């Protein structure tokens, strides 16, 4: 349940809980909260747990330069650390910072690792259900592993032929392809969820985690079928944050381990992982000459330059996009 916000002690004046409360009041994504808190904590530890108010711009510079010089941190990672610390000072503490003089990490362009179509299908065939279906959606719709595992029953729209990805990276919603070849598997999976939900409801644990705002707005939705996770965990468990017994989704570590084993068993000699299926989705569509702007939308990229990293493409209209799973 790593993707469920931890509770904050009411009225706490400690620095980190106060920053958490401030972030949530801003309505920022929980993933952003986790990232910012991680880097703020590292910054505080680096300076021997001194309060940030006791530190100056030169202390920020020394920490960020340390990341680049001593830890060989990537430019993107250093930028995230900078954003987190600047947020803590400017937004939370209302302390304006002067221009920072830091050693910048070098940006090294990386070409994404991708599977061939046959490699992707071979690896998928070696993953046991129900994780196999989650991986098929990752390749067939360009989903990140957590986007696949967080899917609810209602996010599968058979009529429109789309998957609705909610609160993806950057807390953005998007629509992507629903592979027609997976229709029967998805229908069977939803029937499994329905039976499991009925069993849980009879035991009084049929509720599911809901984001706070939705939990307040729709108090009965947590017990409805459409809000159940498409890939429920094997067992119900106690949510340590609320002491509530309920069934969460499959843990991403479970899927990652199965995929890693499948890659080894298939003897695919590439530095591949779950995310390779997402790269392969975009690359496959580009190879088939689909319009890059359409692929950008399906991938949920804010900037088309992020999509262009896969390859240069001669565009054609975005209508009639065929999922790689349907080939």
Residue numbers annotated as active site: 144, 169, 275, 278, 301, 310
Is 171 in contact with 28 (CB distance < 8 Å)? yes
DSSP-derived 3-state class of residue 137: helix
Rg (CA), the chain: 22
User: CA–CA separation, 167 vs 81, rounded Å?
Assistant: 22
Q: Give 102's Cβ-side CA count (13 Å radius).
A: 24
For CA atoms 231, 236, 240, 244, the dihedral sign is positive
Burial of residue 220, with CB atoms counted within 10 A of its CB: 0-12 exposed, 13-18 middle, 19 or more buried: exposed
User: CA–CA separation, 174 vs 145, rounded Å?
Assistant: 15
Give residues with Cβ within 8 angstroms of 55, minimum separation 6: 47
User: CA–CA separation, 242 vs 21, rounded Å?
Assistant: 17
Whose CA is closest to 5, among 154, 213, 221, 229?
A: 213
User: CA–CA separation, 92 vs 87, rounded Å?
Assistant: 7
């Amino acid at each position: 349940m790593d993707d469920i916000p931890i509770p904050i002690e009411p009225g706490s004046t400690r620095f980190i809980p106060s920053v958490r409360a401030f972030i949530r009041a801003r309505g920022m994504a929980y993933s952003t909260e986790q990232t910012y808190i991680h880097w703020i904590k590292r910054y505080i530890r680096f300076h021997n747990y001194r309060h940030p108010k006791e530190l100056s711009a030169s202390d920020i510079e020394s920490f960020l330069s340390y990341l680049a010089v001593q830890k060989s941190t990537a430019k993107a990672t250093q930028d995230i650390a900078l954003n987190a610390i600047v947020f803590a000072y400017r937004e939370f503490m209302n302390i304006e910072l002067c221009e920072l003089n830091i050693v910048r990490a070098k940006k090294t362009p990386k070409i994404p690792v991708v599977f061939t179509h046959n490699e992707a299908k071979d690896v998928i065939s070696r993953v046991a259900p129900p994780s196999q279906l989650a991986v098929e959606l990752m390749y067939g719709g360009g989903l990140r592993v957590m986007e696949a595992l967080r899917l609810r029953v209602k996010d599968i729209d058979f009529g429109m032929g789309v998957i609705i990805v909610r609160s993806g990276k950057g807390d953005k919603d998007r629509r992507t392809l629903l592979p027609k070849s997976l229709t029967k598997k998805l229908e069977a999976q939803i029937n499994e969820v329905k039976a499991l939900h009925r069993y849980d409801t009879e035991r009084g644990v049929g509720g599911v985690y809901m984001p706070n705002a939705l939990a307040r707005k729709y108090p009965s939705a947590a017990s409805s079928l459409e809000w159940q996770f498409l890939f429920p965990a094997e067992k119900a468990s106690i949510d340590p944050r609320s002491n509530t017994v309920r069934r969460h989704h499959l843990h991403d570590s479970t899927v990652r381990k199965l995929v890693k084993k499948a890659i080894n068993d298939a003897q695919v000699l590439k530095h591949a992982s779950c995310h390779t299926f997402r790269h392969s989705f975009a690359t496959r569509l580009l190879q088939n000459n689909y319009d890059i702007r359409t692929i950008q939308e399906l991938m949920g990229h804010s900037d088309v330059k992020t999509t262009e990293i896969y390859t240069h493409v001669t565009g054609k209209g975005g209508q009639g996009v065929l999922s790689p799973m349907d080939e």
